[in-house]
Structures are given as C-alpha cells and as structure tokens.
Structure 1
Amino acid sequence: MVAKVVIDIGSSENLVSKELVKRLKLPTEKHPQPYGLRWIRKVEGAADTVSEVCRVPLTIGKNYKDDVVCDIVDMDACQILLGRPWQYAIAKGKSYRYILQFAISLGQLYGTAAYFITAYMEGDNFAAST
C-alpha cells in the first residue's frame, strides 16, 4: 500500500493515523506516557490524546526498509508523519538530506528554478539520503 508520508524536522514524535492502523490491521500497545496534541487536524481547536503506539512497516524505494514505532493519532494531514526520532535513528549522528523522486506537472519554469527541480529529480531511487 502507498501511504501519504511527511518528513517533519519540527515534529518531536513519529505519528501514524488511526485510519491507516485499522486498514493495515496493525497490532497496538498502550502508550507508556499518554499525552495530548492539538495541531494535527483541520478542525479548529481539535485536540487528541495519544494513548496507543504501534510498529509501522515502512519501505521507501529499494534501499530503505524498517519498522518505525509511531504514536497513533486521529489526523488528516497525512497518514504517517516521521519526526525527529525517526530522523535521528537513521542518521546515527550524521547530517542527512532527503531526496524524493516523484512525477509532477508544473507550468513553464525559467532559469534557476528549472535547474533546481531537474537536478533533484534525477536518479533511479524513489528516495535516497546523502
């Protein structure tokens, strides 16, 4: 299954949507320290309590496969949000840049912008880190 994933350097947690957990029938566990969140849904002022966690099997391209521990929340911005815990776990103290390749349609671009997109869209892997 293809899921909507966001890599967020500002997030202090790894999150997965309740909908995706149900769809994939992932086993869940109680969260060791439940906490509240406010910003992950479009509804103004909506709050959610994080009380469960699960391991989410994650594959990006041919080169990356892992089980990521995520807090389960009711969110509509994406299905998986990978925050600093995931980034630090794979970086092992190094600085990484994520390059994602995907098909897009854009209007006509000129100069530097066209070069920038072309330079980062080349390669065989869906995702690579450098």
Structure 2
Amino acid sequence: MADHRRPRRRGQGELEALVLAALREAGGPATAGWVQERLGEDLAYTTVVTILTRLLDKGEVSRERAGRSFAWTPADRAGLAARRMRGVLDAESDREAVLASFVTGLDPADERLLRDLLSQARAADDD
C-alpha cells in the first residue's frame, strides 16, 4: 500500500538555515540549481530561489550574474553579525544605554580587544 502522507512542512527559518548551510559547504559561489540538488528531497527550484532572494534582502547572501541565472555566496559571518548589531543599536532611541550595557557585559579579554580596535580605528582616522 502506498504512503500518501504529505511531507512535513518546514518553517521559513529552517529552510533559510538549510540553504545557508548548503551555500557554505559549496566553498564558492553556487547556483540555485546546485543548492536544490544539494538539499534534494522535495524542495522545488522556485522555493530555493525565493529563499535565496529573502536571504539577499536580509543581507545574508550576495549574488552575481552567472550566464542566465545567478551564483549565490553567503555573506561574511563577521560582517553579518556586525550588521545585526548595528540594526539593534539603530532600533533603540538611547544608544548610549545600549552601548553601555553591551560594554559592561563583555568579558575582560573582549573588552581589551574592543579598546584595541577602537584605538586602531582612531589612529587610522588620524592618518
């Protein structure tokens, strides 16, 4: 007897995570077709393209023209985290309180690193 149950429906966040993981495994730009093959199962090509487009809108991937389609690349994780941090900071009206809370929550090694990075940035601005 054939099994006629529908496949489990994944949430948008889960699909985005799967697509990003596949792109990171690619080791370079990959097409939506490659991502679809990599993920296999019952994921439609149009679904993969929709997810990649959403990720592009969020700044989590970039794309470049590759023939008649696009090659997709995951965003740099450090840059992505920095954009998210700026987004949180920009969403708050009391920037000083947010930054103060962030800095006081750092462990001593991260606080020293932040101080060093700020000093380097100031020195570069003075040049």
* Greater helix share, structure number: 2
TM over 0.5: no
* Greater strand share, structure number: 1
Per the normalisation by structure 2, the TM-score is 0.26
